[in-house]
Amino acid sequence: MRRIAAHYVFTGIGNPIPMGVITLNDEQVITEIGVLTDETESTEFYTGILTAGFINVHCHLELSYLRHRLKPCGGLADFIGQMTKIPRRQPADSEALVAMRAADAEMQREGIVAVGDICNTAGSFPLKRESAIYYHSFIEAVGLDEVAAAAAMQRLRQLCADARQAGLPASITPHAAYSLSDALLDAAIDAANRAGILSVHNQECDAENELFTAGRGALHDLFAAAGFPLPPVTGQRAVYRLLSRIAPSVRALFVHNVALSEDDYDRAADCLPHLTWALCPNSNRYIGQAVPPVDLLYRRNARVAIGTDSLASNSRLSVLEELKSISRRFPHIPLQTLLQWATVNGAAALGKEREWGCLRTGANAGIVLIENVHLHDLRLTADSRACPLVMPTSGANRNPGKPIPCS
Ligand SMILES: [Zn+2]
């Protein structure tokens, strides 16, 4: 048995509990949550706040070896241009493996217990089998050549089957509205519709909308110069190419959304009742000095979750660092909301709200201490840091344990 207490417990459901205490059994399952009245010798008391383990809904483990390799702030087209010029590491490359292991360890140190990870190869599968983190591998479809679509889907299906055979949750997903031919987009979204889960990069910059509305702009010029086939000019903004294909029942994650308009938001929310908006603010700043529409999503009470993106466009894999960035720029958003984005909402987006994301009796969701918080105003500070106190014992990819209802 273990009793852990702090100035506040944020459960993810309901209001924060001042002087909260959590009791765990030997399997790290919560047996009681309440208010600290009788501090005993066995109570561990921490200065700060306690929350469930963080969920990182968007990462690319495979790109971990690219830390500090790409020039920042040139915009998305420049970033893609740089990526295409860097020789891709093979999955078995030792530098790539070492970098992935370091990234996985960093996420554990940052209190992350579950990750939505984009995969182009099988390189991360052995690591994921051993990690204490739960990974959902999104096997990514990308390619503008219509003729190559059938062969690409065959390769992706095989990759997905390999992941599942290794005991890893996996599903096929499209990369973005702008990077797939009609045939590949149809097939990839059809596969995601059948799996019931999808993660797609959405409207990462204005050039993405321009490509579809007018057939011009920085992405258009990049593709034209490289000799890539161009996606069709539809006269509609990029998100509509996705909305017309995704089934309403799907748990869809739209990632980035930097160039999302209010109309785009309304239409997407109407079409997709289970849509989650993933924000990766530090990556947006690195790539294009851009800011996602945090205030719009907050005002509309949208389901928001947090991603770190990869180390190609971020210097840290820390959900808390993303929250600190949002809090600095949008100080009116309460810490309780930010922590719901970082926990409960992310778990729901990955279809794992029964396992992770909230602290409640019967849960084995991990416990993270956030230190150096402004306790009077309940605000994060520049020095706030995450310290995992408990990792979920059932969080491995092999056996998710007994489902726990999380209302
Ligand atoms: Zn990404």
Q: Check whether 180 has a pLDDT greater than 90.
A: yes
Cα 331 to averaged position of ligand 1 atoms, centre (Å): 26
The pLDDT value recorded for residue 92 is: 67
For 224-249, what is the mean pLDDT? 95
Cα 201 to averaged position of ligand 1 atoms, centre (Å): 6
Cα 228 to averaged position of ligand 1 atoms, centre (Å): 21
Q: Check whether 159 has a pLDDT greater than 80.
A: yes
Cα 363 to averaged position of ligand 1 atoms, centre (Å): 30
Cα 54 to averaged position of ligand 1 atoms, centre (Å): 18
Cα 24 to averaged position of ligand 1 atoms, centre (Å): 36
Cα 50 to averaged position of ligand 1 atoms, centre (Å): 29
* Cα–Cα dist 355/361, whole Å: 12
Cα 130 to averaged position of ligand 1 atoms, centre (Å): 23
Cα 10 to averaged position of ligand 1 atoms, centre (Å): 29
User: Are residues 342 and 366 in contact, defined by beta-carbon separation less than 8 angstroms?
Assistant: no
Cα 205 to averaged position of ligand 1 atoms, centre (Å): 13
Cα 302 to averaged position of ligand 1 atoms, centre (Å): 21
Cα 394 to averaged position of ligand 1 atoms, centre (Å): 27
The pLDDT value recorded for residue 380 is: 98
Closest Cα to residue 263, out of 275, 254, 271? 271
Cα 59 to averaged position of ligand 1 atoms, centre (Å): 6
Cα 83 to averaged position of ligand 1 atoms, centre (Å): 12
Cα 2 to averaged position of ligand 1 atoms, centre (Å): 38
Q: Which of 18-27, 167-176, 282-291 has the lowest mean pLDDT?
A: 282-291
Cα 335 to averaged position of ligand 1 atoms, centre (Å): 25
Cα 294 to averaged position of ligand 1 atoms, centre (Å): 18
The pLDDT value recorded for residue 401 is: 36
Cα 43 to averaged position of ligand 1 atoms, centre (Å): 41
Cα 400 to averaged position of ligand 1 atoms, centre (Å): 26
The pLDDT value recorded for residue 86 is: 77
Cα 255 to averaged position of ligand 1 atoms, centre (Å): 7
Task: Kindly report, residue by residue over 98-157, the tens digit of the pLDDT.
Answer: 999 999 999 999 999 999 999 999 999 999 999 999 999 999 999 999 999 999 999 999
Can you list the domains of the chain with their CATH numbers?
1-52+356-407 (2.30.40.10), 53-333 (3.20.20.140)
Q: Which of 82-86, 273-277, 347-351 has the lowest mean pLDDT?
A: 82-86
Cα 362 to averaged position of ligand 1 atoms, centre (Å): 34
pTM here is: 0.94
Closest Cα to residue 234, out of 212, 219, 264? 212
For 314-337, what is the mean pLDDT? 97
Q: How confident is the prediction for the chain on average, in pLDDT?
A: 92
91 confidence band (pLDDT: 50, 70, 90): low
Q: Which long-range contacts (CB under 8 A, 24 or more apart) does 147-153 make?
A: 148/181, 148/184, 149/181, 149/183, 149/184, 149/187, 150/183, 150/187, 152/184, 153/184, 153/187, 153/188, 153/191
Q: How many residues does the chain have?
A: 407
For 71-82, what is the mean pLDDT? 77
Q: Check whether 399 has a pLDDT greater than 50.
A: no
